[in-house]
Amino acid sequence: MRRNSSVVVVVLALVMVVASCSGGRGGSSNPKIPTVFSNYHLSGAISPVRDPSVIRFNNTYYAFSTDTGAPVSGSLPILCSQDRVAWACCGSVFGQIPQWVVKSVPGVLGLWAPDISYFNGLYHVYYAGSTFGSNTSVIGLATNTTLDQTDPNYQWIDQGEILGSNSTDDFNAIDPNILVDSGSVWLTFGSYWTGIKQRQIDPVTGGLLSSNPTVYSLAYRPNAQYDPIEGSSLVHKDSYYYLFVSFDDCCNPNPYQDTYRIMVGRGTSPNGPFVDMNGADLMQGGAAQLLAGDDVTWSGPGGQTAYVDAVNGDIVVFHAIHLPDGTPYLFCNSLTWTNGWPQIQP
């Protein structure tokens, strides 16, 4: 999330008045509302939630999300569900923001956009520290041997900084996402500036792979002011790699002005190029729209993570802003595939 620095105080003031484990629901029976919104049926600790990432461990789904400023005990809150419908609070990664992040990013108020993955016998949460409108940012890593809090070995270990950016860089080191693909691990990241980037990860250490210093460029909007693209999620499904991104802006004090929308492109390599249904290159602003707000009950769907689940079916998690109150809600929807392209279902 880049977010406009001028709105940070207003946004935080808004979300802090919302209880972190409320059981309220959004939605409407208005027939003009798209099915994905009008059939909203999640319950439990579903707001305020931004930028969720999900994984299944045994029979439980775990969703990790951004610090919203609401009265949550800890940093990087975790939600749990057995059925992908009813969600409950089940802790957080950190008790507080790590001190190295505080020192590296002056003024940091919370950690953003955690991404959960599993490789080399460990669960990995990559997370971002930044401030609104700035690319003085860091991506950090925390690891755990299990997601079961009843296990005596349950403990999140902070591994420190993986990647950073500053005002002299042409990229922003936030919104991390991991793809584990046939033994190779890829970190996709980026927000505004020159778009979505990628680095290869050492599968043993979880850090950048020193033998491959290449920075891959995956998506860019050269004809859009400020290049409003972020929140990437890369998955491998059948013959293609799919890059999901969020276009446009989030987190405005007026929720009707949240213009986030979920877009996608595909390619035959994890490093791109990626194109949309019409063959337009994502490096030239191309992408197929999967979901936009309805401006009636929901605005700004985005911050998405796609999750390929061979056991219970593929899903996509994202947030959308409930209108008119401006509360960000968790969505967890089925992801189906038609003619090689994803579709978000109720």
Strand order through the sheet with 177-181: 177-181, 184-189, 196-201, 216-219
Strand order through the sheet with 261-267: 229-237, 240-247, 261-267, 288-292
145 SS3 class: coil
- Catalytic residue from among 51, 227, 249, 258: 51
Establish whether 238 is a catalytic residue: no
In eight-state DSSP terms, residue 239 is T
Q: Residue 33 has which token pair?
A: 């509302």
Distance of alpha carbon 287 from alpha carbon 269, whole angstroms: 17
The strand pair at 86-94 and 111-119 is best described as unpaired
Q: Among all chains, which residue has been given the structure tokens 């293609």? A: 240
C-alpha distance across the termini of the chain, in Å: 26
Establish whether 325 is a catalytic residue: no
- Catalytic residue from among 115, 175, 227, 230: 230
In eight-state DSSP terms, residue 180 is E
Residues known to be catalytic: 51, 230
